[in-house]
Amino acid sequence: MGDDDERVIELAAEVFGLARRGEAEALGGYVDAGVPVNLTNDRGDTLLMLAAYHGHEGAVAALLARGAEPDRANDKGQTPLAGAVFKGETEIVRALVAAGADPDAGTPSARDAAEMFGKTELLRLFGAS
């Protein structure tokens, strides 16, 4: 592996770390500078998935504002919306739904997760199936 490849790997690790930590401004800056907003890691997790799952509302908003796909599933079929439901991140669920996330996408779907965990307030956000 060459020096350029190693730098790309280091940059990707840094950007995924920003998403996990919720550093919205820095994350947005990298995307604005050319990092793909739907970049995925080796498990298929997007930046949006990591930000949503770790409860970082500002990072989720920054990524959605830059065109992140709200329904992009990881390699296990999980979507950012289902991850936010699982973690009980109601405001992130609202942001994802407002951005057009489909509560029936993925496996298990966000709707299925909300039903499984008795999250009736989130089911109301999703409307009728």
User: CA-CA distance, 121 to 126, in Å (whole number)?
Assistant: 9
pTM of model > 0.75: yes
CB distance 96 to 52 below 8 Å: yes
**One-letter identity of residue 71:** D
| 37 Cβ contact partners less than 8 Å away, ≥ 6 residues apart | 31, 47, 48, 63, 66, 67, 68
Model confidence over 51-95: pLDDT tens digits? 999 999 999 999 999 999 999 999 999 999 999 999 999 999 999
- pLDDT of 6 > 90? The answer is no
Question: What is the topology classification, in CATH, of domain 3-126?
Answer: 1.25.40
For residues 7-26, average pLDDT: 94
E strand map for 73-123 = none
Radius of gyration, alpha carbons of the chain: 15
Q: Nearest-5° angle of CA 119, CA 120, CA 125?
A: 100
Domain boundaries, the chain: 3-126
